């Protein structure tokens, strides 16, 4: 199941939305400390398992066709 994430800031190098650097989830700001793993699935879905600066782990998903970020839980 997916829940929308608010206000995601991304690092954009030679392509857009290359990786998340911070996000707001349930009215709480999180800064990404580490990308643990990342992969792409069919249908234009990008996944990032991240660790935040406060030690929490999240699985963030970017849907290219919707241009939106979600948390998978």
Give one DSSP letter per residue of 29-67, joined into a string. Answer: EEEEEEEEEEEEETTTEEEEEEEETTS-EEEEEEETTTT
**CA 21 remoteness from chain centre:** 8
Is 58's pLDDT higher than 70? yes
Domain that holds residue 36: 2-72
Is 17's pLDDT higher than 90? no
- Reported confidence tier of residue 28, pLDDT bands at 50, 70, 90: very high
- In sign, the C-alpha dihedral spanning 19, 8, 62, 4 is positive
Mean pLDDT score, 13-23 = 81
Is 16's pLDDT higher than 70? no
Q: State the pTM of this model.
A: 0.89
Cα angle at 54 between 40 and 66, to 5 degrees? 30
For the chain, the domain total comes to 1
Mean pLDDT score, 38-53 = 95
Mean pLDDT score, 47-60 = 97
């Amino acid at each position: 199941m997916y829940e929308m994430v608010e206000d995601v800031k991304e690092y954009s190098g030679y392509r857009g939305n290359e990786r998340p650097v911070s996000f707001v989830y349930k009215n709480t700001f999180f800064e990404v400390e580490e990308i643990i793993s990342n992969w792409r699935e069919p249908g234009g879905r990008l996944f990032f398992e991240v660790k935040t600066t406060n030690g929490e782990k999240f699985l963030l998903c970017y849907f290219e066709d919707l241009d939106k970020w979600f948390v998978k839980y």
